[in-house]
Structure 1
């Protein structure tokens, strides 16, 4: 009596070798080349084909969120761009006007090692009413173009910016609590931009600023009057600020004006940690310390740690 089961299994085994699975046996470079011809949604679906194809689509050299990407969704869903979390690492933008206005449901945006086009200036605009966290790290251009970063995110609570930027403006940030600003190139507006963040974020708790030296003393002096006017407005208070960390301090007048305002406008401040730039002279550091000790402090608990 013939038993069909084992014979069928043998046939299956004979037909399941590498010769029978052409898709899985393709080399990785050919798979990546094939994926470049597919729309984003279709490329993502190839993850189910086999282990060799799983998540290979994320290595595509370009990603386009065009009409074809949103087409399978209903019109009302596509219009609102339901994407909530977006992380882009090691990719490039082709336009000098970058905007996330259409992603109305976005709550987290994390961009790292992004290359922007070589242009006179790049504008980076964030208009996401539900955005909670915004991270922009090591994003620059080949020719050193400065970035203008404008964020209109009323729900923003965490902002981390590291790179070669010329201006940072956060419009109306009532929920912003943690800010890390790290300037990687010499820009005369960096301290001023950091102070703008404080003024526009009344609930800021923690602030970390790392700056580079001012380009020239002449540009530095041009900023003094503007900063002093803002510092003199009593309505601008950093009332919730608890901790401040300032790195690479040069002791120039714009930085000192910013520190003076922070101490005078922060009644809840507990600690201000300051680290001098290794390029600063010992004599300049001594004079800076004297100036710091003479600044008025709104908080009796505020400690300056060098």
Structure 2
């Protein structure tokens, strides 16, 4: 018995003896309520949550409002009171502050928070008002005190709207800005961005109602991701010397939207490395005349990814625009095309392959695709556009290693076999080119070298 007691007393309480920096690493990713509950693990942990540098207040932190508390102002006061009580007992710096899924109020008066957080040195602020529940979910209104937090390095907002006060001089340290379901002021892509001179990463999801989408990029901007419900505007960029990743997507385009000159668009993007564009947005940079090749060669562009984003085609992919981009990108490494079913279908069910003359513009080998190695294509139905595109890359890609083909919803297995039979007769510049056929779940059905077809 004495021996057993001795063994028990000799056991080391490893949890209590963890170094303080390891405890901080464990607590920091947790929401504030969960971090506080870890005090049951050990007495040594009781006060550690008070010094974590990342504070997350989510919907589980707040008690459900009483049925009598239907007034928004009462709910807002409760919310702010709970947060301030927690901040008062917090000891140490706060580098990241997250207010997540707050659905209790329609106006968040954050001036007391901003004042406190600024004194704590917060550099990463997230105000995630509510989960998405509709295309116009911009209900949470952020008051102007946000614009006093000029020390911010990263800012994220969701499900809200804001107005830029006239006295705002800018976020002079901001490097990352992420907005989702946010009602934007009219001058957002113009004067507002210019007030963020160090901004490197801009991501704006599901905005609406902007008529002139000309991004006046800060000089340090490297990533620009824009995704809209509906665009009825001209797309353009002022000169952005460091912008390397551009993503433009929209679910709908107004039928009478004016197109802009693609020459001027890409002349402003000399460092572009990755381009992601939906079919709809491609139409907006396709003003006639479309050049055979851009006068400004896109030496840095390595990835072109063109996908269908919404439900209305408007028109099929402008083949001339895509070819112009390919011919203007001598270092292109990967090409992804996601076709959607339209009116140009040839292999649906029992339809026969049409007797079509190949596009002569696609036959000439003019030195492009010399470094292209990967092609991913989702077939709409085996259209002539798709056949012409594959003929072009096969004839011009000496380093081509793999072509991944995924059938669309309206393309049968028999139709895919007909498609493969057709491309079997095409000239191929690469001896290593491999065809990989995947199903709708991205599972490989078969793979073979093109030479073996």
TM-score by length of 2: 0.49
SS in 1 for 2:390: helix
Query: Which residue is equivalent to 1:132?
Result: 244
Q: Deviations over 1:178-233 (max 9, x none)?
A: 2221123433235544333322211111111101134357xxx9x988x532x244
Higher relative contact order (CA closer than 8 Å, sequence separation 6+)? 1
* CA–CA distance in structure 2, aligned partners of residues 61 and 80 of structure 1: 19
Secondary structure in 1 matching 2:248 = strand
Of the three residues 166, 179, 197, the one matched with 2:304 is 179
Could you list the runs of 5+ residues in structure 2 that have no partner in the other structure? Answer: 1-76, 83-103, 110-138, 173-192, 287-293, 346-353, 438-453
Task: Provide, for residues 242-279 of structure 1, a one-character-per-residue CA deviation record: whole Å limited to 9, x for no partner.
Answer: 11111124222121111001000000000111122231
The answer to whether the Cα contact below 8 Å between 1:191 and 1:211 also exists between their aligned partners in 2 is no
Match of 1:10 in 2: none
Query: Which of these residues, 315, 325, 328, is aligned with residue 197 of structure 1?
Result: 325
Residue 62 of structure 1 contacts residue 91 of structure 1 at CA under 8 Å; is this kept in 2? Answer: no
Compared with structure 1, are the counterparts of its residues 35 and 57 closer, same or farther at alpha carbon in structure 2 (3 Å cutoff)? farther
Residue of 83, 108, 115 corresponding to 1:31: 108
Matched, 1:228 2:360: yes
Residue 277 in structure 1 maps to residue 408 in structure 2: yes
Q: How many matched pairs?
A: 263
Q: For the Cα contact (< 8 Å) 1:107–1:133, is it kept in 2?
A: yes
In structure 2, the residue matched to 1:61 is 161
Distance 2:433 2:366 in 1: 21
**Separation in structure 1 between the aligned mates of residue 413 and residue 206 of structure 2, nearest angstrom:** 40
Q: Secondary structure at the match of 1:91?
A: strand
CA RMSD, 1 decimal: 4.1
Q: Give the whole-Å Cα distance in 1 for the aligned partners of 2:299 and 2:357.
A: 27
SS of alignment partner, residue 424 of structure 2: helix
Q: What TM-score, normalized to structure 1? A: 0.69
Larger radius of gyration: 2
Q: Distance in 1 between matches of 2:230 and 2:318?
A: 20
Quote how far apart the aligned CAs of 1:237 are: 1.5
Match of residue 210, structure 1, among 338, 343, 347:
338
- What's 1:41 paired with? 147
More helix by percentage: 1
Question: 5+ residue gaps in structure 1?
Answer: 1-20, 48-54
- Cα drift, residue 68 of structure 1: 5.1
